Amino acid sequence: MSVLTRDEAQNRAARIGLRRYTIDLDLTRGAEVFGSTTSVRLCVLEAGTDTFIELEAAALHRIALDGNELDPTLYADGRYPLTGLGEGEHEVLVEADMYYSRTGEGMHRFTDPADGETYLYTMCCMSDAPKVFACFDQPDLKAVFEVTVTAPPEWTVLGNGVATRVGDTADGRWQLAPTQPISTYLMAVAAGPWHSVRTRHAGLPFGLHVRRSLGAYLDADADELFDITRRCFDRYHEIFDEPYPFDSYDQAFVPEFNSGAMENPGLVTFRDQFVFRSAVTEGERQSRAMVIAHEMAHMWFGDLVTMRWWDDIWLNESFAEYMGFQILTEATGYTDTWADFGVRRKSWGYDADQRPSTHPVAPEPDGVPDTAAARLNFDGISYAKGASALRQLVAWLGEQHFFAGINDHFTLHRFGNATLADFIDALARASGRPVPEWADAWLRTTGVDTLTPQISEGPDGWELRLPHEGSRPHQLTIGCYDLDADTGRLVPRTPLRWNVPEDETHTAAGRRPDLVLVNDGDYSYVKIGFDERSWQTIAAALSGLPDALSRAVVWNAARDLVRDGKLAPTDYLDVLRAHLPRESDVVIVQGVLAFARGQIADRYLPAEQRPAALATLVDTCRELLARTADGSAPGLRLAAVQTLADSTADPAELGDWLAAGAVPDGPELDPELRWRLLLRRSVLGAVTLADIEEELVRDSSATGQEGAARCRAALPDVAAKEAAWAELFDKDDLSTYLATATAEGFWQPEQHELLRAYLARYFPAVADLAARRGPAIAQAVGRFGFPHHAVDEQTLRLGEDCLREANPIPALRRRFADELDDLRRALRVRAAQATATPATAG
């Protein structure tokens, strides 16, 4: 399939306009292919136009232009040429068979192992629409979509518009209401014997849908899901002048979904792990609610007004990311969402922005030359950094001017396309501020600024300086705290408002604060350091900071200091051991434990120090369990159980829990916890294949299949490793989810000697696999299958050789480039830790 270039898209958009897609999908042709008949009404703007229509067909049966048959043999490389088109209206008709996908791209087909039922759904973003229907696949050629679907009669069909059965029920025919003009990547259909819960709100039908085997779990959560949906919907209508622009709002939780969710107008699709079948923390419920708010924001930013080309994906994702957290804070009971953002999301942006693959939030157009390059920019920069930039923009402009500019933008470009320049112009008109200058500094630059306080004391007072490494302006808050030695609490003084670079010094009478916290409130995107006194205060009293967001800022800063080799990983663990048992925010607990377990223990410390690090985590979790034994904080308790299970060296204790079906004093072991415990026991060599199969009989669901694949791959013997390797690299029938699970289980630090021989095989094997199976599998096996435990020069050399010699596809090249940069960082951290001390934190 040819990759669409920006130049080709611009050339095509200058010569044609689209009116309507009429699509007829036949989902009754068996398990391998479906029928796709597409009629496209277009207007040619210039006589003698040469263009092309895109299609990835299993078989092209017919193509006609204005009723005249064309030669199907001219179809090649995913395109059919349309030459010499006259000015005016035309119709292209395409009849084809299309392949179902097993990797979540195009029309994905899934058979539920729990009951044998089959489900289908589309994922057309960002360039996969031609896997479903013939189209002119670029975001600035919007059209009305009118879709008809033939499905097995017992199925339900969902789509962008209200779906209605037509004809006899036994025919299985469904008509979807015509849409407003939308882009091809937003076309959506989902079909299967869905379990549905429906209601109405604001005069519109709302629906929740999931596969039948998860129906009871959806029923248990439906009230909460609808409540979040209604609250967000109403809040968006309070701040946006433009009402919700589509005829319904369905949310389908679909199996084996590669993304978190997709903003198809009228039919948002989510990964069905968001329908919780096992216990989760409040932080995980909050994250689900944020995704609901995020996707709803896209109904305006992305669906109503769409970027012209993929260089402006930040207009979609950064905006939705910012609005998701902000609206959740304003409209629901989740009031600490920005602490969640700081812990879960912002570090994603910081990490991406310090790699060689970094790019501006808003790249120059020539920085995104084609759709393959654009696919790589759905990353921590476009989401988390962009949202941070918008939060800083709101702090600078004020909310009133920000939303006035947004509403102006919607009015001017409704159901059309817009660029960064259009958006910036709207904000400048509304505010009267030099927004283009701000955009140049924030959106056209790369990297992370750093601010590190320097404090001097004299007989009459103290002075603060804030040296700035970087070029961006920042409006931020500096928190000043005094330590109450009797209670261990940090008592806030009046915070300082600081403008970088305008403010150079602050002088105050009296004693300096014990803790000076730069970027308190987390309003800017910047790395911070600490002076020595402030770090000593943190080490003594971090849990005494009164606000969760302030604590999140400190933990994030400490994480950055470890990654930069300025704070020894063992010193981070010391602070964790002292203060995490007293932490009340479950999101912070989960984030800190995840970094300590996945990065410090497995990568940043040499192998001989790993057991002590894991023991520290286990001891911390035991203290959290002791503190929560009364049932007062089930989320904290669950987080502690999860990390203890991941970190313990005692498989017998986990075996006792499995036998009892519960952890002492709770929680009971639900399916996810049972698989988690079994995985650790597999790693430690305490289970057999028969034990895994016995657990699979207990839980034969899709999640159970993934758990079993993960455990099989984790067994510490040659036969198990060879079998897992063959499943991953010698066969092409694993779904993305099962490939991910197998890859996750394969590499284990405890099995380093057993796995050594596989290192040289890994890189060329993944390159070959990616070339055969495409970007989704490449991302999964390149990320989750990377040998993260092998922090050595040999792994680095093997990876660099692969990049240089194996010519991996773009998705894998980017993945490996990022993983290898993280490996170099881990090597630097190991080399630096002998000299890194708390005193160097600043």
Q: Which residues are tagged catalytic?
A: 295
**Taking a C-beta distance cutoff of 8 angstroms, is the pair 235, 327 a contact?**
yes
State the residue for tokens 């929680």.
667
Whole-number Å distance between alpha carbons of 714 and 704: 15
Whole-number Å distance between alpha carbons of 561 and 448: 13
Q: Closest by alpha carbon to 812, among 799, 827, 829, 822?
A: 799
Whole-number Å distance between alpha carbons of 319 and 301: 7
State the residue for tokens 């040998």.
787
Question: Across 187-266, where does the E strand assignment appear?
Answer: 189-192, 195-201, 204-210, 249-254, 261-262
Q: What is the DSSP string of 136-199?
A: --STT--BEEEEEEE--TT-EEEESS-EEEES-GGG-EEEEPPPSSB-GGG--EEEES-EEEEE
Whole-number Å distance between alpha carbons of 108 and 131: 10
For 197, 222, 236, 278, the CA distances from 229, given in Å and listed in that order, are: 13, 10, 11, 22
Whole-number Å distance between alpha carbons of 266 and 192: 18
Q: Which residues pair with 163 in a beta bridge?
A: 176
Element (H, E) at 80: strand 79-85
**Taking a C-beta distance cutoff of 8 angstroms, is the pair 232, 296 a contact?**
yes
CB-based contacts of 458, cutoff 8 Å, min separation 6: none
Q: Closest by alpha carbon to 405, among 301, 293, 524, 521?
A: 301
Q: Closest by alpha carbon to 190, among 221, 160, 225?
A: 160
Q: Closest by alpha carbon to 300, among 244, 261, 251?
A: 244
**Taking a C-beta distance cutoff of 8 angstroms, is the pair 422, 396 a contact?**
no
Whole-number Å distance between alpha carbons of 772 and 571: 45
Q: Closest by alpha carbon to 197, among 154, 155, 226, 157?
A: 226
**Taking a C-beta distance cutoff of 8 angstroms, is the pair 137, 4 a contact?**
yes
Whole-number Å distance between alpha carbons of 306 and 142: 9
Whole-number Å distance between alpha carbons of 26 and 174: 10
Residue 637: exposure state from Cβ atoms within 10 A (0-12, 13-18, ≥19): buried
Q: Closest by alpha carbon to 127, among 814, 743, 810, 818?
A: 810
- Distance from the Cα of residue 377 to its chain's centroid: 12
- Distance from the Cα of residue 674 to its chain's centroid: 26
Whole-number Å distance between alpha carbons of 45 and 16: 5
Give 3-state DSSP helix, strand, coil % of the chain, rounded to 5: 50, 20, 30
Helices (H) and strands (E) in the chain, counts: 28, 31
CB-based contacts of 822, cutoff 8 Å, min separation 6: 351, 355
